[in-house]
Chains A and B, each alone.
Chain A
Amino acid sequence: MVDAARHPNITVKSYTEVKRVEGFIGNFKVLVEEKPRYVNMDRCNGCGACSPVCPIEIPNEFEEGIAPRKAIYIPHAQAVPLRYVIDEEACIHCYKCVDACGKLDAIDFSQQPRQEWLDVGSILVATGFDNFDPSVIKEYGFGRYANVITAMELERINNSAGPTAGRIMRPSDSKFPNKISFIQCVGSRDERYNLYCSGFCCMYTIKNAVQWKQTYPDADITIFYMDIRTPSKGYEEFYRRAREMGIRFIQGRPSIITEDPKTGNLFIQAEDVGLGRTIELESEMVILSTAAIPRVDTDAMGSVLNISRSPDGFFMEYHPKLRPVDSPTDGVFLCGAAQSPKDIPASVAQGSAAASRAARILNADEWEIEPIVAMVWEDRCISAQGKKCGICATKCPYGAILVETGKAAMVTAAKCHGCGGCVAECPHNAITQKHFTDAQVISQLHALLRHEPEKKVLAFMCHWCSYGGADNAGTSHFEYPASQRGLRVMCSARMDSDFIFEAFRLGAGVVLVSGCHPQDCHYITGQRVGAERFEKLTKRLVDMGISPQRFRVEWISAAEGAKYAQVIREMDQTLRQIDPQALKEEIERTRPELERRVRRLPEIPDVALALELAKATS
């Protein structure tokens, strides 16, 4: 900690939050806001004269609420920076601290939140985890029974710098508890709360038990566990040592804890898998190994940073095997428990890994980004003809398009991320997206529907989420009918109404448009641009006489392989339920109107040729 603060290349911005992120790999602009400490960092020398005079006492978060703190405080004795801070919500403005500070004059109630924009080339996200609140598991009585505590509380009680100066005592009567029990997997590996294993709680419980037993060899210690997980180097040996020391391990998840109100002792009922029967055990204190859960603000941070979450709620990596510390957004990396629960050695290793991934970019003189960007056909843009338009600019999440009436719309390539929303929304077909041009997509459509189109489930997929979801269905071997035909574009924003009209014109049985969930969109608001369009389109298709069940919109994340397979299964089922003759008639009946809708497509460069080629090949 101190090394970081002292390093000449590191600027610690404490009490500071990230509000906004703009830009792109190599060129991010980050708006940060420093909260007012009401203590001048340059003047405060950490002497501590202020805190004792403060009349306020509130629970100290660092001590897990076991001990109080003042409204003016330092988080703990080793805090970096070692400067006092006033808790605005708790302070009653009695100004006793101002007097105590005296000549140093470090207290400054005039401070305001301070915002600044910082230019950075890469961002590393290391926001860690929260601890599960065990009071929701009513059977364990946490919050009701004084002597049921969490493992983090034990860390504080058992700490020479902690509230009891390291003297172990139980909360109800401050007596030393000789007979204690630990309960594992509290909120982890439990369908009611979190399915995943929190990974490090087996080891920290063994650590605490071993340490306790070393200090108090007579102590009677029991650990209730589901499975003991000790996969890292040296961990299994450590576990063995615990068993050899006489710590009791009982396999079974306790069903209920009751308290004897007179003694404050606790009775744990559990199924002992080894014995094959229910047992009851009396303990003077019970310690709950609570799950590591995603930070409460994970969603908010995710949308600021444009990164998404895995089904377990932690930040999602680009690829679990091959790019474990990359986020899906170029130039943004993940490390530590923010990505999934992990212990200190693993967090340090990931920290180094993320640093080296970021250094690849930061040590380069320039960085190459994919040229899959929007491009304006100036002769087609009506703004160039002096007409007011600018629809494209309103759809761009990045402010990459500049429209001045009299000139053609202009795209700044480095700012464009290539969602294709402007392309699909331009009513004059005056913009294209490189590598996903209309001619390219239409050629694909014709190829995919060249044979028995009425029996096909045509699925438009976005590159990041639903295509990833389809891949996930594949790696998980979730089967679905082979009637599906997939067509990938970068974002649901690119799925032009014309493509869907064309698919139906060609006689596609059912059509799926699928993309990211709104919070997962890789183009900030690209998904919203698509979603708004599809909402209108759904109505329009029905007006045109297309049965509503032939068009479906679904948001599927890269982790939702099961959902992807399920959606395709359902759509295939739907298609099979439609009477083939009726479907044929519907296709014939709606074709003239669909033809009218797409009549201007051939004006787009290359599209006429694509249609001609498609005809020749079919």
Chain B
Amino acid sequence: MSQNEDLRIGVYVCHCGSNIASVIDPKAVAEFASALPDVVLTNNSLYTCSDAGQRQIQEDIKNHKLNRVVVAACSVRLHEPTFRACVAEAGLNPFLFEMANIREQDTWVHSHEPEGALEKAKDLVASAVAKSRFLTPLDMIKVPVTKTAMVIGGGVAGISSALDLADMGIKTYLVEKEPSIGGRMAQLNKTFPTMDCSI
């Protein structure tokens, strides 16, 4: 656990082009982060999620023996999977990665309050760094897969998906609540764009 470990945290503050950098100075955030305990490296890049940005993280993990990575950029809902995969490729457990959302939840909503946005970015980074100290490596849980699909709704969308799945060799239940499949399309006369009959 963390108390026995020599922590080496790397913090990456992204510009996201001008999305972040037009409101706050990412360098100031990085400078702030460099003063936090156990942070051994900070970095700014134009786009941390770019190939070059990710490669930099991977090289730093190797060269600077980083064992925690914090990226301050966009939403976890967007790029957490990207960066987890990035650190994993460099041999770091993906759950030793943490993210601070300084775009959607900071510069994009506080563009008229740049000073407040900067203070907030620092706090968000401090929070991510603080959490990162207590992160532990985790392994994905592997579950078996039942190789059968269920499609609910037998309209044209459901029928198309069921046929595709079935052609891929997957057993598929097509569940339709009416006595017949077909959905609305079955009611139509001729259909655009081809003007042929619908069924």
Q: State how many residues of chain B have any CB contact under 8 Å with chain A.
A: 96
Chain B residues within 8 Å of A319, by CB = 77
Residues in A whose Cβ lies below 8 Å from that of B171: 9, 11
Closest to A364 in B: B145
Q: A275 contacts the other chain (Cβ, under 8 Å)? A: no
> Quick check: B166 and A7 within 8 Å, CB to CB?
yes
Q: How near does chain B come to A561, taking the closest CB pair, in angstroms?
A: 9
A interface, how many residues as a size bin? 35 or more
The answer to whether B111 and A477 have CB atoms under 8 Å apart is yes
Complex-state Cα separation, A190 to B99, whole angstroms = 41
Counting CB contacts under 8 A, is A289 at the interface? no
Interface residues of A in 427-452 (CB under 8 A from B): 434-435, 437, 439-441, 443-444, 446-448, 450-451
Selected interface stretch from B44-52, B61-69, B179-187:
B179-187
Chain A residue at smallest Cβ distance from B35 = A617
Known A355-B161, A413-B141, A483-B116; judge A118-B149 contact (CB<8 A): no
The answer for the CA separation of A17 and B150 in the assembled complex, in Å, is 12
User: Which of A266-274, A525-533, A594-602, A607-615 lies on the face that meets chain B?
Assistant: A607-615
B123 within 8 A of A: yes
Structural contact, B168 and A359, CB atoms closer than 8 A: yes
Q: Which of A141-149, A176-184, A204-212, A379-387 contacts B (4 or more CB under 8 A)?
A: A204-212
B129 on interface, CB distance cutoff 8 Å: yes
A467 and B101 alpha carbons, distance in the complex (Å) = 10
Most-contacted residue by chain A among B112, B145, B157 (CB, 10 A):
B157
A617–B101 Cα distance when bound, in Å, is: 22
Pick the contact of A337 from B77, B157, B191 — CB < 8 Å?
Answer: B157
Q: Mark A1-27, 1 if CB is under 8 A from B, else 0.
A: 101110111111111111000001111
Asked if A62 lies at the interface with its beta carbon under 8 angstroms from chain B, I say yes
B156 in contact with A348 (CB, 8 Å):
yes
Known contacts A75-B179, A344-B185, A470-B105, A606 near B143 by CB under 8 Å: no
Q: Which residues of A contact B127 (CB under 8 A)?
A: 443-444, 447-448, 485, 487
User: Is A196 at the interface (CB under 8 A from chain B)?
Assistant: no
Which residues of chain A come closer than 8 Å to B136, judged between CB atoms? 434
Considering the chains assembled together, what is the distance between the CA atoms of A358 and B169 in angstroms?
13
Chain A residues 110 to 124 lying within 8 A of chain B, measured CB to CB, are 118-124
Question: Do residues B164 and A204 form an inter-chain contact, with CB atoms below 8 A?
Answer: no
B128 to chain A, nearest CB (A): 8
Known: A4-B159, A78-B199. A14 touches B148 (CB 8 A): no
**Residues of the A chain whose Cβ atoms lie less than 8 Å from the Cβ of B157:** 126, 128, 335-338, 347-348, 350-351, 354
Asked if A473 is an interface residue, CB under 8 A from chain B, the answer is yes
A371 at the interface (CB under 8 A from B): yes
Q: Does A311 contact B (CB under 8 A)?
A: no
- Per the bound structure, the CA–CA distance linking A463 and B2 in Å amounts to 25
Contact B77 A366 (CB under 8 A): no
A351 to B130, Cβ gap below 8 A?
A: no
Of B95, B126, B164, which contacts A356 at CB under 8 A? B164
Per-residue contact bits, chain A 328-357, to B (CB 8 Å; 1 contact, 0 not): 000000011110000111011011101110
Tell me if B182 and A448 are in contact (CB < 8 A). no
Closest A residue to B36 by beta carbon equals: A617
Closest to B113 in A: A482
Asked whether A158 lies within 8 Å of B189 as measured between CB atoms, the reply is yes
A366-B144 in contact (CB<8A): yes
Inter-chain contacts of A406 with B (CB < 8 A): none
Determine which of A30, A234, A336 lies in contact with B153 in the assembled complex, contact meaning CB atoms within 8 Å: A336
Residues of A within 8 A of B185 (CB): 344
B143-199 contacts to A, CB under 8 A, are 143-193, 195, 198-199
**A526 CA / B116 CA spacing, docked (Å):** 34
B187 in complex: contacting residue of A85, A152, A322, CB < 8 Å: A152
The answer to whether A232 has its CB under 8 Å from any CB of chain B is: yes
Q: Which of A27, A204, A610 contacts B146 (CB 8 A)?
A: A27
For window 200-247 of A, CB contacts with B under 8 Å fall at 203-204, 206-207, 211, 232-235, 238
A345 to B157, CA, bound (A): 9
Contact B152 A18, beta carbon cutoff 8 Å? yes
Q: Is A471 an interface residue (CB 8 A)?
A: yes
Report yes or no: A32 in contact with B175, Cβ–Cβ below 8 A: yes
Which residues of chain A from 478 to 515 have a CB within 8 Å of any chain B CB? 478-488
Contact B189 A370 (CB under 8 A): no
Tell me the complex Cα distance, A345–B138, Å: 43
Contact B169 A9 (CB under 8 A): yes
CB distance from A509 to the nearest CB of B (A): 14
Contact call B105/A371, Cβ cutoff below 8 A: no
A204→B36 CA distance, assembly (Å): 63
With known contacts A4-B163, A9-B172, A477-B111, A75–B105 Cβ distance under 8 A = no
Residue pairs across A and B with Cβ atoms less than 8 A apart, 11 shown, are: A9-B167, A74-B180, A120-B146, A120-B148, A128-B155, A233-B193, A336-B153, A358-B165, A444-B130, A467-B77, A606-B2
The 5 closest A-B pairs by CB, nearest first: A336-B157, A482-B116, A474-B104, A351-B160, A126-B158
> What 7 new A-B contacts, CB under 8 Å, besides A9-B169, A480-B110, A482-B116?
A62-B186, A62-B187, A79-B182, A344-B185, A471-B77, A477-B111, A609-B2
